[in-house]
Amino acid sequence: MLQVTHCYKLFIVLKQKVVGCLHKQAAAERDRREQVLRAEGDKRRAELTSEGMKISMTNESEGKLIQITNEAEAEKLHILRVAEGKAEAMKIQALAQAEAIEKIAEQLGKDGGHEAAALALAKDYVKMYGEMGSKSNTMFFQESAGNAQSLVVQALASMKAMDNMPIGKSIDVGATATTETKP
């Protein structure tokens, strides 16, 4: 066991100069600790700012990648849909043309069918000459371009030649060309 037998009270009186030096030393120590804490705070703030910028840039680049991917997929889908639409339109047009050819063939087999076809052909022939005349200053005419009866006869001759000709051959209708220049 421990027994205390004496107790002393000691009062030390320091000189004012020494007290001033101790205060200065304590203030310097506080300033030093404050600077260390401030430097550590600045370092941590810089680290967090850097990490934040890195995360932000990563998110932004991933967002752009997603946007580009989505736009490319949309463009691909658009091109595919347009191509499918064109293909479907071509199928419909081909079916309509096949139906029209079938009906024309059916009508040609009836009485007066060849004459009606020749008349339609002559009509288209005259229309073609009219269109050519409106677009060019040089025109090529058959010898008797103004004679409608001659056009019908020529159309009938063409139809008869087509009946006797194998598929894929061309027809020479015996046209001769003359030129006429507009002023």
**Residue pLDDT, tens place only, 33-86:** 999 999 999 999 999 999 999 999 999 999 999 999 999 999 999 999 999 999
CA distance 178 to 61: 71
Contact between 159 and 140 (Cβ < 8 Å)? no
179 three-state secondary structure = strand
Question: Is residue 177 over pLDDT 50?
Answer: no
- Cβ partners under 8 Å of residue 132, min gap 6: 139
Share of the chain above pLDDT 70, in %: 77
Look at phi and psi of residue 2 and say left if phi exceeds 0, alpha if psi is from -120 to 50, else beta.
beta
Residue 126's pLDDT is 79
The per-residue DSSP string of 5-65 comes to: -----------HHHHHHHHHHHHHHHHHHHHHHHHHHHHHHHHHHHHHHHHHHHHHHHHHH
pLDDT digits (tens, 9 = 90+) for 113-124: 777 777 777 788
Cα–Cα distance, 157 to 137 (Å, whole number): 30
